[in-house]
Amino acid sequence: MERRRLVAASSPLAVLVVVLLVALLTATASTPLSTYVPGRIVRIAYEIERYDITYSWGGGHGERPGPTTGTCQGYTGRIRPCPAESTRGLDCSGLARWVYALAHGTDVLGPGNTDDHVRRMRRVESPEPGDLVFFGKITKKRVKTHHVGIYLGHGKMMNAPETGAVVRVDDIGRRPDLAGFFRY
């Protein structure tokens, strides 16, 4: 399978092509959209992974969902100096926002970080592919998350893990502080 790389120099046209391709590949003819949303989420996540979209701190938080140049504000990554302002890509919540927007047909998660997104969802005890998996700490009084991935089933998630990486599949157990699974 040929893989393509979406890097800092990629054009908005390349992003548009990915969005259109994903939309075409996941379109359903006569069944209501809500029937296929979980399956669409997973298919879209795998399609996006094929393009090796670069992680960018703050990427994916533009006016509309999708890859954007990131920001160095609040950057905590290992790579110095911060490369986000010259890297077009997605951070973890930007990836979740984009995939959910493509699957639902509208920006259901909206802008914001993982704390904002988890507040728009409901916790589930039995996760299904397409749910979001959050990492950090969530209590009745406080929400402090730092990472989100798209649950694929069998202990796997699609995520934008860190600066220097691309969107990829990882084991959920790779991170030690699972906060829970959530569904929109």
Position 95 in a domain: yes
Tally of domains within the chain: 1
- Residue stretches of the chain with pLDDT short of 50: 1, 6-9, 26, 28-33
Provide the CATH number for the domain around residue 163: 3.90.1720.10
Return the ∠ at Cα 23 (arms to 134 and 111), rounded to 5°: 40
Position 7 in a domain: no
Position 2 in a domain: no
C-alpha–C-alpha distance, residues 25 and 83, integer Å: 33
**Nearest to 135, CA basis, from 178, 98, 166:** 178
If one counts every other C-beta atom within 10 angstroms of the C-beta of residue 117, the result is: 24
Q: Looking at residue 40, what is its pLDDT?
A: 95
Domain that holds residue 104: 12-183
Q: Looking at residue 60, what is its pLDDT?
A: 97
Q: Looking at residue 22, what is its pLDDT?
A: 57
